[in-house]
Amino acid sequence: MHVIITGGVQTGKSTLAAALTAFLKAEGIPMAGILATGLWKNGRRQGFDLTDLATGVITPLARRVDRVEARAIMPFEFFEEGMTAGRKALDGEITANAVMVMVDEVGKLELMGKGWGPFMSSLVSNSRAVHVWVVRENLVRDVCLRWNLDRVEIVHVDDEDALERLKKMFAKERV
């Protein structure tokens, strides 16, 4: 089963994903994958840290670039250490025994075959796990088409019962 947590930019998608992982961890559910936690200063996103859900290890993933010429290309600099940690967390041997596999976030880079993109097809073939992907709402259709996701539950971050819906979907899959 595939679950997509969606919403607009900076609407709490990763926060909802983090709440789900906290619940599943408390329930003792084996997890794998990645969660990207936003770092904020004075109301402005400064970067992201990456959590490996199988190990709990947190690694710096990206930080805001303040040079004007660099910002024109991409507002964040991604660290090789964070990318390596993400690739390791999404490796098939690590995710094979997980009951839930999360990818936060599946976006434009992944649709172009970059970022976490090279791992997505092998993740889809792991049918044992419930896959939870964080996707901006304007990319949901493209993500579903790109990876031929035919059985997808969409949970919008603005739904007031979003977390309870996620918990119930997950419980339904475990039966």
pLDDT of 111-138, one tens digit each? Answer: 999 999 998 988 888 768 899 999 999 9
pLDDT value at position 72?
A: 47
CATH number belonging to domain 2-174: 3.40.50.300
Mean model confidence pLDDT for the chain: 88
pLDDT value at position 75?
A: 79
More confident call, 84 vs 1: 84
User: Is residue 54 within 8 Å of residue 89, measured between CB atoms?
Assistant: yes
**At residue 67, does pLDDT exceed 80?**
no
pLDDT value at position 74?
A: 67
pLDDT value at position 69?
A: 52
Of 20-24, 63-67, 138-142, 148-152, where does mean pLDDT reach its minimum?
Answer: 63-67
The torsion angle over the Cα atoms of residues 171, 120, 150 and 51, rounded to 10 degrees, is 30
More confident call, 175 vs 40: 40
**At residue 52, does pLDDT exceed 70?**
yes
pLDDT band for position 65 (cuts 50, 70, 90): confident
pLDDT value at position 76?
A: 83
pLDDT of 142-174, one tens digit each? Answer: 999 999 998 899 999 999 999 999 998 866 545
pLDDT band for position 175 (cuts 50, 70, 90): very low
**At residue 27, does pLDDT exceed 80?**
yes
pLDDT value at position 68?
A: 60
b (16+ CB within 10 A) / e for 105-141: bbbeebbeeebbbebbeebeeeeebbbbbbbbbebbe
pLDDT value at position 116?
A: 93
